[in-house]
Amino acid sequence: MLLMNLQRLSASSLGGRSLCRRLTTQPNTQHPESLKRQQRQTPTQHESPPYKGQSFDEVVELRKQYLTPNVTSYYKKPLLIHKGSGSQLFDQDKSYLDMFGGIVTVSVGHCHPKVNAALEEQLRTLWHTTNIYMHPKLHQYAEKLVAKMPGDLKNVYFVNSGSEANDLAMMIARLYTGNHDIISFRNAYHGASPYTMGLTAHSTWRYPLPGLNSGILHAMNPDPYTGIWGGKQCRDSPVQTTRSCDCQEGQCKATDMYYDQLEQLFKYSLPRGKVAGMFAESIQGVGGTVQYTKGYIKRAAELVRANGGLFISDEVQSGFGRTGEHYWGFEAHDIVPDIVTMAKGIGNGFPMGAVVTSRKVAEVLCQALHFNTFGGNPLACAVGMAVLDVIDEEELQKNSLDVGTYMLKGLERLRDKHDVIGDVRGKGLMIGVELVADKETRQHLSAPHFVDIWEMCKDMGVLFGRGGLNANVLRIKPPMCITKADVDFSLQVLDIALRKHSEKTH
């Protein structure tokens, strides 16, 4: 790689300290074998490219005039992003390390050359026909994608988003079982369409629409940090909560108690033995990277099936190697779901999604006509295949495990250093950092204080996401190509922001 220069943040802006990141001329395009032989040590960045578009003020005015007023942006002064490369984003005059990946969507890196090339080649030959005609890419991609799935999960229907995927999964579960009621968790997010909004259990994402909860029940969330039960032995993560716990190795008392609450839901709120299905994110994303107590999901899936239902794993955020140890998040729960939904990282930012299930379950869609105009279009399938190739060739699942664990341990050290960090959790490159006002009570940090820290990180060149019901969790889900050097820079920036916030508030 050709090193071009060092990007330095001014010492004055960092309280007398200086940070630097090495820059390279292009995204990582080394042959896969060379990637296997060496640990990547430098962030992959372009020089800041010139911006020739409309001014910031002009864009703001256009936004106010033509976009619906609910469309909001991060930060007090929103970023005007015009280019991405690898793990980097660029506004008019500055580069940023993207530690949120376009809301957990950019899986293999912004503008990855292999994905770009696949899209460019396809758009020169065929954009669109819909599935009334056959085109080869759809079938090639279907074969390639389901090869990644275990068991009988060998039939796929392509859609355009995670909400569409979960919409379809709900319909399939109800058709297949002949039952109506569906369970999801409190704190879950499964989409914002009128259908999936009922599954989503965050008041901030729900409109007062009639029939929203028709046949949908929300189970108690088995959260070992802020839930009623749980503690330092209850989570499958390299970093455990500091909350006290009586559980022994290989045993989780909290799971027993949360499972009892789920049984109560079946006993009192459902027709006996009749449930259509249960949805679960393998790790809750929008809810703040919340992990469940050990063994809960497997027991929940068994209970659902014993009552006639299907278990649906929402892999929209946790799939495609992001959790590191496994290709799919549900594998960590030792289950094979009946239906799997996916989107976001499936296309590295290209709008696409999918529902994967068994042939037996999929046959219920033959009861009537069901059609998606753009699902599985040639462009999407070309991109999807390239994404799968890059994940394998560049060993991004392994990178998620290695670099993600490295970051989790670094964040654990920051938790022990700073009172404002209440919890660090996650697996691979699906990480959450919960900020609190009081470590003992786990009271969430108020919005003004959270925003102060978050804005400082942005000003120093690192973009984190924001999540959780109280919007007090740093969501860290970067492109899976990030390096340990990227992590070191992020940790240093966060450390400084937390220290400066503490100095201002004490």
Query: Is 2 domain-assigned?
Result: no
3-state secondary structure of 383: helix
pLDDT tens, per residue, the chain with 506 residues: 323 333 444 333 444 344 555 433 333 333 333 333 333 333 444 467 888 889 999 999 999 999 999 998 999 999 999 999 999 999 988 999 999 999 999 999 999 999 999 999 999 999 999 888 999 999 999 999 999 999 999 999 999 999 999 999 999 999 999 999 999 999 999 999 999 999 999 999 999 999 889 999 999 999 999 999 999 989 999 999 999 888 877 789 999 999 999 999 999 999 999 999 999 999 999 999 999 999 999 999 999 999 999 999 999 999 999 999 999 999 999 999 999 999 999 999 999 999 999 999 999 999 999 989 999 999 999 999 999 999 999 999 999 999 999 999 999 999 999 999 999 999 999 999 999 999 999 999 999 999 999 999 999 999 999 999 999 999 999 999 999 999 999 999 999 999 999 999 98
For helices 253-269 and 296-306, what crossing angle results, to 10°?
20
Helices within 147-244 (DSSP H only): 162-177
Pairing of strands 443-444, 430-438: antiparallel
Identify the CA nearest to 317 among candidates 399, 431, 183: 431
CA 272 to mean position of chain CA atoms? 35
Structural domain ending residue among the three candidates 360, 394, 428: 394
Instruction: List all residues 6 or more positions away from 200 whose beta carbon is below 8 Å from its beta carbon.
Output: 184, 188, 189, 190, 191, 192, 206
Are residues 229 and 106 located together in one domain of the fold?
no
Query: Is 76 domain-assigned?
Result: yes
Are residues 384 and 486 located together in one domain of the fold?
no
Residue 370 structural domain = 113-394
Are residues 100 and 227 located together in one domain of the fold?
no
Structurally, the chain folds into a number of domains equal to: 2
Structural domain ending residue among the three candidates 394, 420, 453: 394
Query: Is 31 domain-assigned?
Result: no
Query: Is 14 domain-assigned?
Result: no
Are residues 369 and 418 located together in one domain of the fold?
no
CA–CA separation, 217 vs 237, rounded Å? 28
pTM of the model: 0.91
